Every structure is written in structure tokens, then in C-alpha cells.
Amino acid sequence: MKKYTDTGKKDTRSGFGAGLLEAGKADPRVVALTADLKGSLKMDAFAAEFPERFIQCGIAEANMVGAAAGLALAGKIPFIGSFAEFVTGRVYDQVRQEVAYGMTNVKIASSHAGITLGEDGATHQTMEDIALMRALPGMVIINPCDYNQTKAATVAAAKYDGPVYLRFGRPGVPNFTPEDQEFVIGKALVMNEGKDVTIFATGHLVWESLLAAEALEAEGISAEVIDIATIKPLDEEAVLASVKKTGAAVVAEEHNTAGGLGEAIAGVLAASLPAPLEFINGGDRFGQTGTPSALMKAYGLDAEHVALAAKKVLARKK
């Protein structure tokens, strides 16, 4: 199987900060707004380079969304930055009415997503944000797996004409994808080819799935690992092609069962290619306080549980 090298742990939110700065240098229409979270969203470099294109909205997320929609209608490319919980649940009405309904060119940058926010606990963690955004017609959803991919995805989002929900996290995670990559919205990436079972993974679970594939290979099981960085629009062609080959699949994500990537892939398979399917996700639970690594293990979001799910689905296939 193909081997990937962890070049050092980096937080994906810093990949967003680097991508935002690059996008700002490439296009003067790019502007950035935040709700009192400039440092947390790693917007510092953009704000220093382009102070006239940076707006500190204060703790007023609903106003921030409205301001961004207005800027988009005036021809700007606004990125709004906040915690995933605040920029989805707290302002869902504004996102629905002023961004999605009008198809305004607003990029929603959501940091501290999932449970890997860790010690801040359930009130600040979110395991349901993808479900909220998937329900909105026309909303693109991108959930990158590492620093390099997040940077490239941010640049791609700036070039895309329409609303985008860009999801990333706080903790340092392995950085293993190419530094010079070009991110293509809506395209799944085959990270490792296999013939026995497919592992569809997104975000932090991509690295864990690659580790799981290594462990499975040692036991004579050939696992195909596919990085689904764009959850919507889903690369249905890639999903069907892989499962047609392997006949069974696992979906791994740092999100609850309801409304996540697992349900999206289950829908595709149910319609066109019924096959055994197992899920690695947060179930039907809120987060809780703890270190990121401890929570990932407690919720079964690690390589060990991905490998176990692969064996389980293989048993069902037989």
C-alpha cells in the first residue's frame, strides 16, 4: 500500500489562515470578518497585511453574516470566521436566508469543529454542523484532512462562486498531503487502492483510516482509503466505483450519525448499489469535556475502531 509521511503535527485552522492570506494576495476582492475570534481563526496575518479588508464584528455573529452577505452582493468575496457551533447553530436563520437562499458568495470558515475542541466541552463543540449545512440547498461543504489540504481548499473556496462551508479544527494533527496540491471542489481522492473493503473518511479521520489500512494489510486485508474532503457535492462516481470493486464499505467521520457523510454515502448506495456498510462516528451524542485524544478514543474515532469496523463489514459481506 502507499505510505504517507507525517511531516509534523499542525492544526488545520492554521492552514485556513495561510490559505486566506494567499487568497487575499491573489484577489483584492477577498475580505475577512470575524466575531471576536481573529486569533482563534488564525486571521492575524491577513488582518496585518490587509487591515482595510478586515472587519472585527465583535460577538455579533448574526450581524456578521448579514454584513458578509451585503459585501458579497457588492462584489466582494467575504470569509466569515467563528467556531463551528456559533457560525451554524447560533446563526442558522441568517445563513439560510441571507447566504443560502440568495446564493450569495459567502465563505463560512468554521474552526474548532467536532469533539477535538476538547476541554471547552459540549457547549462549544459541535457534532451536528455538517447536518445543518447539508440541509441547505446549494451549500458546498468542505472538511479537509490536514494543514496542507486546508490551505489549498481555502484558496479553492475563494475562487468558487457561491456559498461554501469550510470546516477545520484546533488541535495539531498529522500533516501528510502534498504541500503544492491543487484542491478540486467535489473531487474525492483515492489515498490507497484496495480490493476487499473501502474506507471513506473525512477530516481528522483520514489519517486514522490510513493507519487502519496499514494494520489491516498486516492481517492480509486490502483496504481502499478514499478521502472525501468535499462532503457536498459528493463525488458519487468515486463512491460507486470503489464499492463496486470492494463490495463493502466503512464511513469514518468526526460527526454524529444524523446528517453526516455516512448518511450521504448510504443514500447513494441505497439508490444504486446496495452493499454492507458500517459507520464510525459520534453516534447520537453531544460532546463532553476532555483532551482531544481522549475524546477521540472514547467516541471510537481512531484507527483501532476503523479497523474493527472494516472486519465487521467484511464478515457481513461474506
What amino acid positions are annotated as catalytic residues?
61
Kindly tell me the burial class for residue 166, based on how many C-beta atoms sit within 10 Å of its own C-beta (0-12, 13-18, 19 or more).
buried
Write phi, then psi, for 35 (nearest 5 degrees). -105, 70
In the beta sheet, which residues pair with residue 278? Answer: 250
Cβ neighbour number for residue 29 with a 10 Å cutoff:
17
Q: Letter for the amino acid at 194? A: G
